[in-house]
Structure 1
Amino acid sequence: MRLQPLPAFEDNYIWTLSDASGRAVVVDPGEAGPVLAAAEEGLTPIALLLTHHHADHIGGVDALLARWPDLPVYAPDDPRIPQATVRVGDGDTVEIAQWRFDVLAVPGHTRSHIAFHGHGHLFSGDTLFSLGCGRMFEGTAVQMLTSLDRLAALPADTLVCCGHEYSRSNAAFARVVDPDNAALRRREQEILDMRSVPRPTLPVALASELACNPFLRVDADAVRAAASHAAGTALTDRVDVFAALRRWKDGFRA
């Protein structure tokens, strides 16, 4: 199988997972152009997987359906995604040709956000980023942390395929939170080297995120201490630590 991130807009990725013949599942096509260009090079979409309703993740669906009207569109049960042909939710399985994906409900960024996990890949949309997580536009800290905990429990060799190239800015924040983390320093340098070319910093192994991402490390002493300092009060509850981190990140400027 070939995994390929198609750059879109300023920092989005449309993910494709294809076989030797070029048949591919396409994840979160925020615009059609990159997919249509890939089709000129031999890619043949056979299904669309959508993680949530935001326009930069579904905006290209109509144009792709105009080109391939029989494409199945797998999406969460949310009326804000009217193009869906198959509604899926937590615990469902998506089977397309030789591919099989488990669906995980991961609310927090949006209330109906889902992720797709299969064949060693996690398509996490805007829930989990490298060294970061999504903003909580519709969910609560409890929901988002629960969602991140679910993703963190997947096999450590899972490749995280998220929706945005935010790694460099996320690394700047993570380093302030956890400056003595040697694994984080190595990952940050890797990110800087990749972006200088430029190359995508994704996918990234979940094991790396477990070692480096402060939003997956709310139980670590250093992360808890940094969140407490930012909040101006001692925090012991892990949800409070996460919420403080997310508020801090919302206003952070490198």
Structure 2
Amino acid sequence: MLSVSLIPAFKDNYIWLLTRGGRAAVVDPGDAAPVQARLEADGLVLESILITHHHADHQGGVSALVERWQPKVYAPGSESITGCTQPLAGGEGIEILGQGFAVMAVPGHTLGHLAYYAPGMLFCGDTLFGAGCGRLFEGTPAQMVAALESIAALPAETAVYCAHEYTEMNLRFALAVEPENPRLLQRCRQVAALREAGQSSVPSTLAEELATNPFLRCTEPAVVEAARQHGADGTSKTAVFAAIRGWRNSF
């Protein structure tokens, strides 16, 4: 059975470690040092690296890991990724440690951004966060809406392994959007307790995100009204998303 655990990096990044027996893969290793330390401590052999997008905090450790382990490197073929051996565009099926993954194109945060889905788990980089979503550095609101819709269509029990510990701040914003959402109030209490205890708030489940993440709730009346109050140009999903994302940028 594939096991997933986190390797903290930088201030708030999460590198995801996948293992089966003594074999390993990592997702978005922005820093090689903590990955090397974990692999050596656990006696693991690194076979694969999965990259979601080109930002340095997601691929900065690839060169050192490739030099040490010579793993396959799966990454967006349209972006500049160090050491990429398996360029991907979305729509492919790949096998990691004996587990099949579907490669999803999720442009928005960057144009070539990918996510990796296997039954029960999604590694989505900076597309979907706990109670939030990534900034649009390269893509358009319409692209991000489409990307989030493709994620929202996955099974509700899917664990969402995003790449940053942003949940508490995102929940504060979500409460500003939907102050009377009871599921959101409950999640705020749960996440506050986790963080107070020094624990990660990630992964969440897609069901949690659908109930509490404003960027997946752009047709909910309260979210539509909040977007209208912040300059939404209409009530379409894209218009609502664009207004909410713009508000979040300055929140």
% of aligned pairs identical? 48
In the other structure, the counterpart of 2:244 is 245
- The aligned counterpart of 1:195 is 195
User: 1:1-254, aligned counterparts within 5 Å?
Assistant: 1-19=2-20, 21-42=21-42, 43-69=44-70, 71-231=71-231, 235-252=234-251
SS of structure 2 residue aligned to 1:14:
strand
Q: State the alpha-carbon separation in 2 of the partners of residues 91 and 97 from structure 1.
A: 19
Number of aligned residues: 249
1:51-86, CA deviations, whole angstroms, 9 ceiling, x for partnerless residues?
Answer: 0000000000001011112x0000011241131000
Would you say the 8 A contact 1:107–1:113 is kept in 2?
yes
Whole-angstrom CA distance in 1 between matches of 2:227 and 2:132: 15
Q: Please, which moves more after superposition, 199-208 or 21-30?
A: 21-30
Counterparts of 1:25 and 1:82, CA distance in 2: 17
What letter corresponds to residue 193 of structure 1 in structure 2? Answer: A
76-85 vs 139-148, which deviates more? 76-85
CA contact (8 A) 1:99 1:119 kept: no
Give the unaligned 5+ runs of structure 1: none
The change in CA–CA distance for 1:229 and 1:117 in structure 2 (over 3 A counts) is same
- Per mean C-alpha deviation after superposition, the further-off stretch among 22-31 and 166-175 is 22-31
Contact 2:110 2:139 (8 Å CA) reproduced: yes
1:242 partner letter: F
> In the alignment, residue 6 of structure 1 is paired with which amino acid?
I
In structure 1, give the amino acid aligned to 2:96: I
Q: Secondary structure at the match of 2:90?
A: coil
Deviations 1:140-179 (A, max 9, x none): 0000000000000000000000010000100000001001
Paired letter, 2:53:
H
In structure 2, stretches of 5+ residues that fail to align are: none
Cα gap change, 1:241/1:39 in structure 2, threshold over 3 Å: closer, same or farther?
same
Q: How much is the aligned-residue C-alpha RMSD, in angstroms?
A: 1.1
Q: Name the SS for the 1:147 alignment partner.
A: helix
**Dislocated runs of 4+, deviation >6 Å:** none
CA deviations 1:91-130 (Å, max 9, x no partner) are 1011133111100000000000000001411000000001
For residues 104 and 79 of structure 2, the distance between their equivalents in structure 1, rounded to whole angstroms, comes to 19
Preserved CA contact (<8 Å) 1:177 1:214: yes
Is this contact kept in 1: 2:14–2:164, CA < 8 A?
yes
In structure 2, distance between residues paired with 1:188 and 1:66: 42
Match of 1:184, SS?
Answer: helix
Contact 2:195 2:201 in 1 (8 A): yes
Distance 1:38 1:22 in 2: 12
SS at match of 2:156: coil
